[in-house]
Amino acid sequence: MSQSTQRITAFDFARALAFFGMLIVNYKLAMQAENDGAAWLRAIAGLFEGRAAALFVVLAGIGVSLMTTKARNSMDKDVIRQSRNNLYRRAIFLFIIGIYLLVMGWTADILHYYAVFMLVASVLITASDKIILSLFAVILLASQSFLILFDYSKGWNTNFHEYAGFWTVEGFIRNLFLNGFHPIFPWVCFFIIGLWLGRKRWLYKGNRSRLLLYSLSGTVVFEAISYGLIKGTSSILDIESANYLFTTKPMPPTILYVLSATCLAVAIITISFYLVEKLGHFRLTQALINTGQLSLSHYVGHIFIGLGFLEIVGYLDNGSLSFAIAYGCIYFIIAMIFSYVWRKWMKRGPVELIMRRWC
């Protein structure tokens, strides 16, 4: 396997890991099992919250960055225009699928947010690293300010499962930009940092060990800062306000959450490179790579097929965390087998094929 191929397949491997994490989180949410189960089981399931989706978005940014390399390096107006048009079409495609999922009742959809990310990418194709990092910082600071200036809970019911007024113009825009499951402020920061990382050579062999060390250290440091700030300010503010401002959980998405989740995403991507390099010849590794290559199809499928089946048999609202995790694991194994077999015959997944023809 060449270095170039290894690089791409490592991203696919990481994407499969992200999909597995999203399966657990989404099935737990859909089955309303957040508060069920033993403490250790809730702790394990909680590890994926806000991290799996963040990894997905960082990888999306890296993928778009690699896809637009030719346009960025050549600075040819025609090539840049073509790349932008492709991103516009992808944005439309993802937005349509996302809206359809929302109409079908999947309120935690991420694809309609991806549509906005694609539009952001179209503007930043030729932007300098300095502009990209400055935008990252500005949006991150603005997002933290919005948590103070606006009512983050507006529209949500008490358990954050239903959003009142979502289909109004005001409600949709508020949910999209400020307080949805993956609001543009600050979730676009994950995508922007991915755009920036896709330009770097840090994931090549000579840089990986340092990148892994820095990213893991960053995760620990930001988690420690969060813990210290919550403990240190809870007597001045109150425990709820301290958690609201300094948590590293995804809701509300604070600065510390974004920084911690970004560092962890980079660490997982780096580890994926090591695993693909050392274990790439194993069938299990290849099956995971294939699963990552079909991640868009699997994302749509885990809702329509996975949750659809449970709804048909009347077991969707079971409230069991152990069942949600077990069901997610079984679905993932089936997805791996399907991906491995499918890729023997087809280069892209079902949804990816449609998007490729459109975009």
Q: Are residues 194 and 303 in the same domain?
A: no
Q: Are residues 117 and 157 in the same domain?
A: yes
Contact 318, 33 (CB under 8 A): yes
Averaged pLDDT, groups of 10, the chain, 359 residues long: 65 98 96 84 90 98 95 92 96 97 94 98 96 98 96 90 93 97 98 95 81 97 97 88 95 97 98 93 96 97 96 88 96 98 94 88
Domain membership of residue 253 (yes or no) is yes
HSE (side-chain half, CA atoms, 13 Å) at 203: 29
Domain membership of residue 245 (yes or no) is yes
Q: Are residues 220 and 158 in the same domain?
A: no
Last residue of a domain, one of 263, 278, 293: 278
Q: Are residues 285 and 262 in the same domain?
A: no
Domain membership of residue 33 (yes or no) is yes
Residue with tokens 């949410």: 29
Q: Are residues 72 and 176 in the same domain?
A: yes
Q: Are residues 233 and 295 in the same domain?
A: no
Last residue of a domain, one of 253, 278, 303: 278
The C-alpha atoms of residue 263 and residue 217 are separated, in whole angstroms, by: 8
Residue 227: what residue type? Y
Last residue of a domain, one of 178, 200, 222: 200
Q: What is the pLDDT of residue 88?
A: 97
Torsion of CA 312, 316, 321, 324, to 10 degrees: 40
Domains in the chain, number: 3
Q: Are residues 245 and 155 in the same domain?
A: no
Domain membership of residue 184 (yes or no) is yes
Domain membership of residue 54 (yes or no) is no
Q: Are residues 188 and 225 in the same domain?
A: no
Domain membership of residue 55 (yes or no) is no
Domain membership of residue 75 (yes or no) is yes
Backbone angles phi, psi at 74, to 5 degrees: -80, -30
Q: Are residues 240 and 347 in the same domain?
A: no
The C-alpha atoms of residue 339 and residue 330 are separated, in whole angstroms, by: 14
Q: Are residues 131 and 170 in the same domain?
A: yes
Q: What is the pLDDT of residue 2?
A: 47
Contact 251, 244 (CB under 8 A): no
The C-alpha atoms of residue 343 and residue 53 are separated, in whole angstroms, by: 24
* Domain span at 337: 1-49+281-359
User: Residue 155, SS3?
Assistant: coil
Calculate the alpha carbon distances from 260 to 64, 266, 279 in Å.
Answer: 23, 10, 28
Residue 11 has which token pair?
């991203």
pTM value?
0.95
Q: What is the DSSP letter of 48?
A: T
Q: Are residues 115 and 156 in the same domain?
A: yes
Contact 35, 324 (CB under 8 A): no
Q: Are residues 77 and 185 in the same domain?
A: yes
